């Protein structure tokens, strides 16, 4: 467990696609953009299949590390770029404990095997776990029940496991920038709403993250991953500052799996029965409205 998390952290920090606090990619290739996952194992496996990656029957990632973009052994398929975020804090508890540390370790292993194609974006629940900050989901104290699960399974080794978990979370990029012929696509868990812009450091995409960025309610990473209620004015401000033409986000509640926020933000949710993903051919980047028509429901694959 510790080795997998440490390997994922190393891959996050040292992948060739990493630039400061973000990952950056460009065509050619495919992108599988996703929303919140919250340890949904069925949807996770479907997303891996769509990206040309697989799990074995034991739930472990199969195949050797990918250095050339070729998919699982013998498949001949190209591995897509896959975004994953809001991985932990499941609503499926075991005797009141959250075992989603297992999902985090699988994602860390996946990142180590496909360092240039897996993009583990920082989400607000991962940040809350890192900072040991209170966060409620459907009345459940998520950080506490996650810690209870780690303590129960690992006993005296739990402190070392939590340290490795925190290292992996701290290594996560804040966003993925996709530079296309139409312009830049920004994949992130969220973006700050207009009301927070006065306190938000918009240079966060162009520098390394600092301890101050992670601080609850005041840090720029916190403001970005907890952003909700964005509007056209706030999005257009970020368009001017960051040169983004399409935002692919999570975090907002999307009961039908997808939500369009004019003029150019698509919110995806991948954690429930109406979960979705968005496949994009990076050589043919869609407009925001075209991208909405390309959204796929995981129940259909």
Structure tokens at 48: 């891996």
Structure tokens at 249: 């986000």
- Which class does domain 2-300 fall in? alpha beta
Helices (H), the chain: 2-14, 41-50, 101-113, 124-131, 142-154, 158-170, 220-225, 232-242, 288-294
Residue 54 confidence (pLDDT) above 80? no
- pLDDT given for residue 56 in this prediction: 61
Residue 64 confidence (pLDDT) above 90? no
Where does the pLDDT of residue 75 fall: very low under 50, low under 70, confident under 90, or very high at 90 and above? very low
- pLDDT given for residue 289 in this prediction: 97
Question: Which residue, among 12, 95, 31, 5, has the nearest Cα to 248 in the 3D structure?
Answer: 31
Where does the pLDDT of residue 61 fall: very low under 50, low under 70, confident under 90, or very high at 90 and above? low
Residue 67 confidence (pLDDT) above 60? no
Residue 59 confidence (pLDDT) above 60? no
For the segment 228-254, what is each residue's pLDDT rounded down to a tens digit?
988 899 999 999 999 999 999 999 999
**Region 108-119 average pLDDT:** 97
Q: Beta-strand (E) ranges in 181-298?
A: 184-187, 244-249, 258-261, 265-268, 276-281, 296-297
| Contact indicator for 35, 123 with CB cutoff of 8 Å | no
For the segment 118-165, what is each residue's pLDDT rounded down to a tens digit?
999 999 999 999 999 988 888 899 999 999 999 999 999 999 999 999
CA–CA gap between residue 201 and residue 208 (Å, rounded)? 12
- CA 229 to each of CA 232, 234, 262, 265, 288: distance values in angstroms, whole numbers, following the listed order: 10, 10, 12, 12, 19
- pLDDT given for residue 193 in this prediction: 87
116: helix, coil or strand? coil
- pLDDT given for residue 68 in this prediction: 41
For the segment 185-223, what is each residue's pLDDT rounded down to a tens digit?
999 999 998 889 999 999 999 999 999 999 999 999 999
Domain ranges of the chain: 2-300
Give 179's strand partners: 184
């Amino acid at each position: 467990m510790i080795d997998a998390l440490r390997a994922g952290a190393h891959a996050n920090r040292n992948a060739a696609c990493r630039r400061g606090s973000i990952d950056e990619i460009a065509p050619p290739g495919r992108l599988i953009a996703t929303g919140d996952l919250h340890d949904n194992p069925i949807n996770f496996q479907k997303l891996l299949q769509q990206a040309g990656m697989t799990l074995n029957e034991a739930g472990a990632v199969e195949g050797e590390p990918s250095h050339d973009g070729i998919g699982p052994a013998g498949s001949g398929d190209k591995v897509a770029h896959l975004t994953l975020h809001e991985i932990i804090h499941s609503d499926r508890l075991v005797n009141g404990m959250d075992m989603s540390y297992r999902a985090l370790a699988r994602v860390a292993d996946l990142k180590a095997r496909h360092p240039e194609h897996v993009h583990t974006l920082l989400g607000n629940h991962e940040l809350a776990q890192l900072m040991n900050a209170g966060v409620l989901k459907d009345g459940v104290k998520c950080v506490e029940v996650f810690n209870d699960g780690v303590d129960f399974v690992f006993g005296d080794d739990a402190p070392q496991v939590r340290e490795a978990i925190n290292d992996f979370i701290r290594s996560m990029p804040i966003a993925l920038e996709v530079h296309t012929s139409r312009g830049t696509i920004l994949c992130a868990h969220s973006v700050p709403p207009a009301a927070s812009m006065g306190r938000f450091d918009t240079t966060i995409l162009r520098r390394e993250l600092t301890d101050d960025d992670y601080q609850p309610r005041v840090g720029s990473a916190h403001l970005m991953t907890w952003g909700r209620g964005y509007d056209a004015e706030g999005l257009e401000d970020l368009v001017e500052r960051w040169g983004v033409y399409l935002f692919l986000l999570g975090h907002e509640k999307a009961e039908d799996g997808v939500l369009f926020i004019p003029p150019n933000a698509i919110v995806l949710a991948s954690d429930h029965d109406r979960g979705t993903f968005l496949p994009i051919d990076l050589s043919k980047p869609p407009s925001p409205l075209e991208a909405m028509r390309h959204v796929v429901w995981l129940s259909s694959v």
